[in-house]
Structure 1
Amino acid sequence: MYARRRRRYFTLMVICLVLFVSAWAFVRLWSVPAAIGMCVVAMVIPPLAAIVGNRRESDDRWWDEPSDDAPPRDGNGRG
């Protein structure tokens, strides 16, 4: 579960780096507007990668969920 999210995050970040580096390494030699467009796309990817990397999946347990072996809590918030 965490490995899957981590893999998605790093895949998006690698795509971002490839777009940015290739835009200014060799695409700018043919078309500056295309290089700028590639950088704009690369600029949008990191926030999306953070969202994808932190999105909760159906089989994830989070810090605020009680574990299966925890005793039931009463109405006062005590165990």
Structure 2
Amino acid sequence: MQAHRRHARYFVMMSVCVGMFVLAWGVVRFYSVLAAVALCVVAMVIPPIAAIFANARDRDDDWWDDPRWENPDWDQPGHDRDRPDHDEHR
């Protein structure tokens, strides 16, 4: 569910960015070119921020603690996902 939330957050922010560009040069430029340029400058900052927020982990996201990264045999009998085994001799 966390990935869906991140994708939705990214989609909304990028939609706002594209909408600001379209609004700036489709409508606002007829009233004020300076305001249209200002809208574009604000819209230009949104994509890096969207990428940062879309890739940020949630509080309940635990993909970095996945035992498969440390132990490739974690799915064999006797291994517990919540308490991964650690071999000292490896």
Q: Which residue of 1 aligns with 2:88?
A: 75
**What is the aligned-residue identity percentage?**
53
Q: Which amino acid aligns with 2:20?
A: L
State the distance in 1 between where 2:53 and 2:84 align. 33
Unaligned runs of 5+ in 1: none
TM-score normalised according to structure 1 size: 0.85
Unaligned runs of 5+ in 2: 69-80
Alignment of 1:1-79 (within 5 A): 1-63=2-64, 65-66=66-67, 68=81, 71-76=84-89, 78=90
State the distance in 2 between where 1:25 and 1:17 align. 12
TM-score normalised according to structure 2 size: 0.75
State the distance in 2 between where 1:50 and 1:37 align. 22
Report which structure shows greater RCO (CA 8 Å, sep ≥6): 1
Ranges of 4+ aligned residues in structure 1 off by more than 3 Å: none
The number of aligned residues is 77
**What CA RMSD, in Å, does the superposition of the two structures yield over aligned residues?**
1.9
